Amino acid sequence: MKSREQRHPKRSPRVPEIVLGAAKDTTIDTIELKNGRVVFKDEHGLVVFDTIAVGRSYVRRKGLKTVERFPADPSDIVLEPRLLLQQYGSLVVVDTNYRSVGPNRLCASSSIWIPANKGGGFKGATAYHQSTLISLVPERINPEIFGWQDIIERTEASPIFDSSKEHGVAVDSELGLLTRLNERVSPIIGGFFLPNEFQLLYVSADAKGSTFLSDEIRLCDKQATQVLKQLLAVSHFQEEAIIMPIKIAYVEWINAR
């Protein structure tokens, strides 16, 4: 089987990125790379940051483009982002599309649920189309985070949800805010903070073929677009006079592929 690099030979090379977070000024004297792990040191020894995020990016004309970025353990910094996924009991992928309807946005949030294999990890794991949320939200609200709240709450309420494990939620929005959301410093929306069993993972939908999660994000995007097209084909949803919130959710436990 060909690697992603072989399937996309003209693609810009991906390079590792590490985002460091510290509550005070920190000096680094040396950086050591050994066995796929990074260690930062100063004159006194090991430097442990407050937060760490590890990802991959590439250079484009507009500047650096992040392909993926995941939270990492500050005391054990694994440089390969995909290895960080091994800690999760499942992954939820969610993407939202919208169309303007008067002063509001008609939104469709599509999600995919990927449970880890029995032995851990996600190689060859089955992906399921979990749900689609239809909603009408004001323009001042990012419809993406509205979709995050809904899918997190319904995943948490599922009878098959394992609260003893941590679960990753792959999203394609608010890259600069995700660390604060993962640290529960800021709410996702209103008074809703990320539950302790979840971590938000950034995955770009624009980087086709970069990772299996980017492929799943693109599938969610496609599903949400199809739902919006179907809704907008109905004259009722084309009227600008719609003012009542619409929230229609359905679950389809079917193979997403």
Q: Where do the domains of the chain lie?
A: 4-255
Helices (H), 85-193: 143-156, 178-182
The model carries a pTM of 0.84
Give the C-alpha distances (Å, rounded to integers) separating 30 from 38, 66, 90, 256: 10, 25, 36, 46
pLDDT digits (tens, 9 = 90+) for 103-123: 778 888 899 999 998 888 888
180: left (phi over 0), alpha (psi -120 to 50) or beta: alpha
pLDDT band at 196 (very low <50, low <70, confident <90, very high): very high
Look at residues 23, 17, 19 and name the one whose alpha carbon lies nearest to residue 80: 17
Q: What is the mean pLDDT of residues 189-200?
A: 94
Helices (H), the chain: 4-7, 81-84, 143-156, 178-182, 212-232
Exposure of 246 in the CB half-sphere (CA atoms within 13 A): 18
The reported pLDDT for the residue numbered 207 is: 66
Most confident of 9-13, 32-36, 168-172: 168-172
Question: Quick check: 147 and 116 in contact, CB under 8 A?
Answer: no
